[in-house]
Chain A
Amino acid sequence: MGIKNEGFILMSPKDNCATALENISKEQEININDKIITINQEIPMGHKFAVKDIHEGDIIKKYGEIIGIATKDIKMGDWIHTHNIRSHYLEVIDK
């Protein structure tokens, strides 16, 4: 398994997650802007993975904008989905 340069998209340089454009297997190494990331779980197409370490309570960004808050620590290369992200918008609006 070589290092992949494609099959994912980072919508903005401000983002801490990227989106898989194909199914990416566990332990696959990918190169995002000359940074090598090892994928920790299988990422289905259309799903996201962390491109840096994210701590519980941190903001998660896609399109350079907030898409939610981490509900637990997320390591670089981890799958980001409903098990570890919650809406930031709903939290703010319900206050």
Chain B
Amino acid sequence: MSEEFLGYQRAKGKVGIRNKIAIISSVVCVNHIAEQIAKEIENSVAITHPLGCGQFGPDFSYTLRTLVGLGSNPNIYGVIVVGLGCENLTSKLIANNIKRAKKPVEFFNMQDVKGGSKAAVEKGIKIGKMLANEAKELQQEPFDFSNLILGLECGGSDSISGITANPTVGIISDKIIELGGTSILPEFTEWIGTEHLLIQRATNKKVADKIHLTLNNFLENTMKTGIDFRGIQPTPGNIEGGLTTIEEKSLGTIAKAGKAPIMGVLKYSEAPKGKGLWLMIEPGLDVESMTGLAAAGAQAIIMTTGRGSPCGNPVTPVIKICGNPKTCDWMASNIDVDASKIITENKDIKVIADTLWRKLKETCNGGKTKAEILGFEDIAIWRCTAAPFQIFRS
């Protein structure tokens, strides 16, 4: 295969495009400790969140699966999990699950370190420096794109996203899949109105039924709480921008997923069970969504943004593509690929797709995205027990 990138070999045949050390807090109480450690370790990221205790049922599983997934992502060389010592989501549980990815994982609780938080930070820095030195030894090697999992995100969409940036991303998603790779489309609330098309693209009846049930259960459960979700879309701003019906809006959204067949529907933060295009159940907040994509193992994310979003992810580089000329101008420091020439210069979508493909390759080779340069390392974990999401028991 002629298309290749320079990545990092991980155990179990996985390939990373970054070689970071992750400092994960098991519970909100030790976020500051994880952040203090990460500050002192070269090429490291702190993965912190407001959760980890007082959680039960699906919420507990979602937080656990997400933190384990982030640590297991092949962009991460090694992990330190810092716990407090009395929380219900323990550092040991997270670390033991990440160990299945056969990478260096260390864990400890602050309450087990004599000297309080200061000593815990020192302990973490000591371990972290060791991991960072090991990581530096690793050389990049060429890999083909069958090794890549690409996340397909959109945020701050406007009425032109669906005719510019989104179909451009669709071309790239199809290309990755043609090259034997994988892509994931999250944000199920934005599939509503197009389920008949997604169902037609399902590779078998089980997948088709799952797509149908996911959306049907969601709509029925929201109806029970007195909310007709379909009536909310498209929004007044969408309509002003030219969108007319819910299906028109959703068609623009799912354009990011190109034309490939759908292999299955993943739970939030669940890794794909094979190559090809996968859907992920996730409600549509960008940072939650990108956290779930990174936890599912995506090494790169492409995010289309019309009105302009600065967000990024600590584990997975996020490439921004924008079709809105004003946003491309005003937010040039945040946008990686300018798709507005589709409008301003009548450029063919395929020409912009070539530019996006080059940017993706550059990013896979280690080139930093705007969100990485600016330091956007955002984490949010979906709390699914909030009504009406209770249907998604894990």
A to B contact number (C-beta, < 8 Å): 72
Known contacts A9-B163, A46-B160; A81/B343 CB under 8 A: no
| Chain A: CB-nearest residue to B162 | A63
Q: Are A89 and B346 in contact (CB under 8 A)?
A: no
Q: Are A46 and B247 in contact (CB under 8 A)?
A: no
Q: Are A46 and B244 in contact (CB under 8 A)?
A: no
Cross-interface CB contact of A90 among B160, B230, B255, B343, cutoff 8 Å: B230
Q: Are A67 and B251 in contact (CB under 8 A)?
A: yes
Chain B residues, CB < 8 A from A88: 245, 247
Chain B residues, CB < 8 A from A21: 160, 163, 342-343, 346
Q: Are A62 and B248 in contact (CB under 8 A)?
A: yes
CA distance A6 to B255 in the complex (A): 22
CA distance A68 to B348 in the complex (A): 26
| Chain A: CB-nearest residue to B216 | A93
Assuming A82-B244, A85-B245, A89-B230, what are 6 further A-B pairs, CB within 8 angstroms?
A45-B343, A46-B160, A63-B252, A65-B251, A67-B245, A87-B245
- Interface status of A11 (Cβ within 8 A of chain B): yes
11 contacts between A and B (CB under 8 A): A9-B163, A11-B167, A21-B160, A21-B342, A46-B160, A47-B242, A67-B245, A81-B239, A87-B193, A89-B196, A90-B245
CA distance A45 to B324 in the complex (A): 11
- Interface status of A86 (Cβ within 8 A of chain B): yes
Q: Are A87 and B246 in contact (CB under 8 A)?
A: yes
CA distance A68 to B167 in the complex (A): 20
Task: List residues 1-48 of chain A with CB under 8 A from any CB of chain B.
Answer: 6-7, 9, 11, 19-22, 44-48
Q: Are B245 and A86 in contact (CB under 8 A)?
A: yes
Chain A residues, CB < 8 A from B90: none
- Interface status of A50 (Cβ within 8 A of chain B): no
Chain A residues, CB < 8 A from B342: 9, 21
Q: Are A46 and B245 in contact (CB under 8 A)?
A: no
For the complex of A and B, 10 pairs with smallest distance between CB atoms:
A46-B242, A47-B242, A67-B248, A46-B159, A6-B346, A87-B245, A89-B247, A68-B245, A21-B343, A89-B193
CA distance A45 to B116 in the complex (A): 60
- Interface status of B197 (Cβ within 8 A of chain A): yes
Known contacts A46-B160, A82-B239; A65/B246 CB under 8 A: no
Chain B residues, CB < 8 A from A20: 242
- Interface status of A80 (Cβ within 8 A of chain B): yes
| Chain B: CB-nearest residue to A69 | B245
- The number of chain B residues with a CB under 8 A from chain A is 25
Cross-interface CB contact of A80 among B163, B241, B244, cutoff 8 Å: B244
B22 to chain A, nearest CB (A): 40
| Chain B: CB-nearest residue to A47 | B242
Task: List residues 150-193 of chain B with CB under 8 A from any CB of chain A.
Answer: 158-160, 163, 167, 193
Chain A residues, CB < 8 A from B244: 48, 67-68, 80-82, 85
| Chain A: CB-nearest residue to B250 | A89
A87 to chain B, nearest CB (A): 4
Task: List residues 230-264 of chain B with CB under 8 A from any CB of chain A.
Answer: 230, 239, 241-248, 251-252, 255
Chain B residues, CB < 8 A from A87: 193, 245-247
B348 to chain A, nearest CB (A): 10
Pick from A45, A46, A65 the residue with the most CB of B within 10 Å. A46
Task: List residues 43-79 of chain A with CB under 8 A from any CB of chain B.
Answer: 44-48, 62-63, 65-68
Cross-interface CB contact of A63 among B230, B241, B251, cutoff 8 Å: B251
Chain A residues, CB < 8 A from B197: 65
CA distance A68 to B160 in the complex (A): 18
CA distance A48 to B162 in the complex (A): 13
| Chain B: CB-nearest residue to A67 | B248
Chain A residues, CB < 8 A from B245: 67-68, 85-90
| Chain B: CB-nearest residue to A6 | B346
Pick from B158, B193, B194, B252 the residue with the most CB of A within 10 Å. B193
Known contacts A6-B346, A45-B242; A68/B247 CB under 8 A: yes
Chain A residues, CB < 8 A from B243: 46
Q: Are B346 and A11 in contact (CB under 8 A)?
A: no
CA distance A75 to B160 in the complex (A): 24
Chain A residues, CB < 8 A from B158: 46
CA distance A46 to B157 in the complex (A): 13
A57 to chain B, nearest CB (A): 15
